[in-house]
Amino acid sequence: MLKKILATTACGLLAIGGAAACGEQGNQGATKPPKIGVILPDSKSSVRWETADRKYLEAAFKAAGVDHVIQNAQGDKAAFQNIADQMITSGVTVLMIVNLDSGTGKAVLDKAKSQGVATIDYDRLTLGGSASYYVSFDNVKVGKLQGEGLVKCLTEKGVTNPTVAYLNGSPTDNNATLFREGYDSILKPKFDSGTYKKGPEQSVPQWDNAQAGVMFEQMLTQTGGKIDGVLSANDGLGNAAIAVLKKNNIKVPVTGQDATVQGLQNILAGDQCMTVYKAIKKEADAAAELAIALAKGENKQVSGKVTDPEGKRDVPSVLLDPVAIYFDSVKAVVDDGYVTKAELCTADFAAKCEQAGIK
């Protein structure tokens, strides 16, 4: 689904997808002052939205001298739509969203399009939507890295015929579907061959960490404590599982994603097998570059596409590469500036940071 294609002009792809013609976008940019609106989803599912995405997007817009507004819907669908209405009324020429679900996202994107506002799906594709562009990471690859990571950690521990539980992301987030597609491609052949045993599986609504903890406790009870590995779709869900495992004096490989301070500390402590680092600055910069060009009435070429299975259209896309992080590569995340040594290497983790080569 996420196959890269040769660079194609955004204009041609947009015309195929049924979005506004390039001439219309250019005229709009020429007649209205450039203004970009961004709607972030929440600050509960992952801290990244406020600690990373907002910071990097703001910096890019300020550097370009473009008027902008960034708001967070805090998981509230009605608030999401109200924010979008306010932004459109205030005269944004580009609207970038991270949807809470595809239904809400589609309604917002369609309204923006009807008002002549160019749109970008950021990080999450809105199924059935009408975004002019999509900027994200190769999310199937994210899942593959998680699956490969769990296999690597189970092999290193010498676990034979392990029972693997799944804590999937939110069922309303298309990314969670893509992550699962990725890790299933690695683990399902092992389940089918009998090398691994498929344990309990749950999808966690709204990526809610508290619900994930309750769900995982039930999984552990259901299996009589016989879970040998946990494929958790991000660091927050992974930490919820780790808390339950610790309470029951069990230590097994657990995966994650987002390279949060908490997730990296769990890796340093040996409680988490791996995480997936997505260089958010690169994602934010790519999205900002597109948004700034559209706001000024310009058109950009992009190098890829994804297929929206519900909208039955190809969406011009920028897809970035994720990176697997283990104990010996936590340093790379610090070196990249995504987290600081001061944040990560607190008193409890100082010795582990030194051991991991973080100076």
Name every residue whose Cβ is closer than 8 Å to that of residue 357 and which is 6 or more positions away in sequence: 328, 331
* Cα dihedral value 334, 340, 346, 349, nearest 10: -10
Instruction: Provide the residue type at 148 as one letter.
Output: E
In angstroms, rounded to a whole number, what is the distance separating the alpha carbons of residues 72 and 97? 10
Same-domain status, 80 and 156: no
**Model pLDDT for residues 343-354, shown as the tens digit of each residue:** 999 999 999 999
Name every residue whose Cβ is closer than 8 Å to that of residue 17 and which is 6 or more positions away in sequence: 130, 132, 313, 314, 315, 316
Predicted model pTM? 0.86
Share of the chain above pLDDT 90, in %: 88
DSSP class of 324 = E
**Model pLDDT for residues 245-297, shown as the tens digit of each residue:** 999 999 999 999 999 999 999 999 999 999 999 999 999 999 999 999 999 99
Same-domain status, 269 and 340: yes
In angstroms, rounded to a whole number, what is the distance separating the alpha carbons of residues 75 and 92? 22
Same-domain status, 213 and 340: yes
**Model pLDDT for residues 102-138, shown as the tens digit of each residue:** 999 999 999 999 999 999 999 999 999 999 999 999 9
Same-domain status, 112 and 245: no
Instruction: Provide the residue type at 212 as one letter.
Output: A
Which CATH number fits the domain that encloses residue 87? Answer: 3.40.50.2300
In angstroms, rounded to a whole number, what is the distance separating the alpha carbons of residues 101 and 42? 12
In angstroms, rounded to a whole number, what is the distance separating the alpha carbons of residues 153 and 149? 6
Q: Do residues 46 and 239 make contact, with C-beta atoms less than 8 angstroms apart? A: no
In angstroms, rounded to a whole number, what is the distance separating the alpha carbons of residues 110 and 114? 6
Same-domain status, 265 and 284: no
Same-domain status, 347 and 201: yes
HSE-up (13 A, CA, CB side) for residue 44: 15
pLDDT band at 20 (very low <50, low <70, confident <90, very high): very low
HSE-up (13 A, CA, CB side) for residue 276: 29
Name every residue whose Cβ is closer than 8 Å to that of residue 164 and which is 6 or more positions away in sequence: 150, 187, 191, 196, 197, 198, 199, 227, 228, 229, 230, 231
Same-domain status, 169 and 244: yes
In angstroms, rounded to a whole number, what is the distance separating the alpha carbons of residues 275 and 46? 14
Q: Do residues 320 and 138 make contact, with C-beta atoms less than 8 angstroms apart? A: yes
Same-domain status, 181 and 265: yes
Same-domain status, 258 and 350: yes
pLDDT, residue 162, reads 98
